Amino acid sequence: MINIVVLASGRGSNLQAIIDAIERKEIDGRITAVISDVQGALALERAQMHGLQPVTISYKEFSSKAEYEHKLLKTLEELKPDLICLAGYMRIVGAEIIKKFHNKIINIHPSLLPSFPGLHVQKKALEYGVKFSGCSVHFVDEGVDSGPIIIQAVVPVLDNDTKETLSSRILEQEHKIYPKAIQLFAKGKLKIEGRQVKWQN
């Protein structure tokens, strides 16, 4: 059973999907802490409701990104996670943390990477006129949503879609594939070869 730390900045719907999957015994792991960079984030309330350790490291309380990252790194080192899951964490993870936890940090992104990295993803997809969008779980490297892809789900873009309707349908798929990716990691079934992530039997 692996120890998981979740980083979240907002409402934590993907955190909830992970919690639910663990409670259904679909993930061989446990969440040892939920860390948020935002004081009072709903994700922290979700953690408390399920008896998980909520940790606030408010970005606003630090004079620089370097100081914030140093505190976050020290906290993660104390928690000793086997896997760090970004679930709506709205900051780019610093190089020191990525180096310390190499290939142990994963993220969920609401597009079919490498298309539309970064923010405002559904707006970009609709403006570009794509016929399919979706979501991707990937390992985190020093780029923006650029690490090796573990799993993806495809969502058709409908003619009458808005940012909200497309986002909602993509989010449904996020809640399915993120726990699956975590379980693949927990069972030691992921092998990274260059940019490819291969699933082992």
Got the DSSP string for 142-195?
SSSS-SPEEEEEEEEPPTT--HHHHHHHHHHHHHHHHHHHHHHHHTT-EEEETT
Q: Does residue 133 sit in helix, strand or coil?
A: strand
State pTM to two decimals.
0.97
Q: What is the pLDDT of residues 156-173, one digit of tens each?
A: 999 999 999 999 999 999
Question: Is 70 marked active-site?
Answer: no
Give tens-digit pLDDT for 80-134. Answer: 999 999 999 999 999 999 999 999 999 999 999 999 999 999 999 999 999 999 9
Tokens of 101: 């936890």
CB of 85 closer than 8 Å to CB of 9: no
CATH number for 2-191: choose from 3.40.30.10, 3.40.50.170, 3.50.50.60, 3.30.1330.60. 3.40.50.170
Give the C-alpha separation, 179 to 135, whole Å: 13
**Cross-strand pairs, 199:** 190
Cα(57)–Cα(88) distance, integer angstroms: 15
The model's pLDDT over 44-69, given as tens digits with 9 standing for 90+, comes to: 999 999 999 999 999 999 999 999 99
Which residue out of 109, 120, 138, 175 is catalytically annotated? 109
